Structure 1
Amino acid sequence: MSQPSHLPGLTPQFCFNQTALRDFLRISRSAIDDSISQNLNALLVPGQRSFDPASTSSRSLSAPDRSIPPQTCDTFKQRILFPSWKVRSDVLDYCAGVATAPDPDDPDSVLRQIEDDKMRERVVDERLDPYSARYFPKEARTESLAMLMRNERAVEKIIRSRTWSVVGERCGMESDSAEEAFGKWREGSKQRRA
């Protein structure tokens, strides 16, 4: 069975390294959420029921019972699924904070300032070249990170919803949505630590 993801060292450099950030999220999602059916299948104990020789005398068109005992499902959710979601949420929250904070260490800020100054000084005659007035300033790395965080949060919401529906099918439907169940688990884990 899969193990929950481990929290990487959270630094602004980790967040600004979008390749490392995306790789962490991709690997974490693939270990738990993308392979949720396999993870749930691993919870089933083979041979729980003894073999019935009469089962070979007739053809059964119904699917075998693939439901998982509630206790086993709860343990999986508490120890594997929700901790993995928490690690990803912590990374997304931290990097979103980095994206909204001022970035005095931005290596491209001086270059952007020089480009902006040049564009302000430039004289443009749009009658001669209507496209000469176009100026597309390079976005700051915090803006790029903020866009990535919005996209990754949307992806995370979709993945959690899909995972939760599979868990609901195999473990028994719950009335809570994925976010509600995760929120309750987070509150409970905070209270257990306190």
Structure 2
Amino acid sequence: MNIVIIKYNAGNIQSVLYALERINAEALVTDDHELIAKADKVIFPGVGEASSAMRYLRERQLDKVITSLTQPVLGICLGMQLMCKTSEENNTECMGIFEEPVKKFIATDVAFKVPQIGWNNIYDLQTPLFDQVPEDSYCYFVHGYYAALGEHTIATTNYIQPYSSGLHKNNFFGVQYHPEKSANVGEQILKNFIEKI
């Protein structure tokens, strides 16, 4: 199995590598177009700010590489958001794989802190990405922006309002939380992506 993690300036790459090691999977970290295109599975992680990340991807034409992929692709956190149509974070045009827009959390109550940092549950789970993952499992989130609910939603989380914590369209999958930091649940999701998608 040839797994590639896309290298760019907004990746939480080391923790993803460690998580893959824990499930006995190895990955190559690269920004080489040809190596990405030839991979069996592609992981597109991310932490950081949308507009600078998109600018970096466009300068290196990695956005075109990603949107042209036909093998399974998993976007994580900012990676998933960059696969959406637009982001309210600095009014960023993203890759448009998913039609869902990315919006800024607006705290309606002092009980809600923005960004959301910590554990929250995922529910209404769909597709084999969530095989053997119980409804209402807890995952680890760090984000101030969210993908709206839409036709590509395959997992939902409620923080201030319900939003997409998982998206799927064709060969593209995205998760808002960090599976690499989500203990056994996250490891199962990564394992499912590698073995069942």
State the TM-score, normalized to the length of structure 2: 0.26
| Greater Cα radius of gyration, structure 1 or 2 | 1
The one of the two structures with greater contact order (alpha-carbon pairs below 8 A, sep at least 6) is 1
Higher-strand-fraction structure: 2
State the TM-score, normalized to the length of structure 1: 0.26
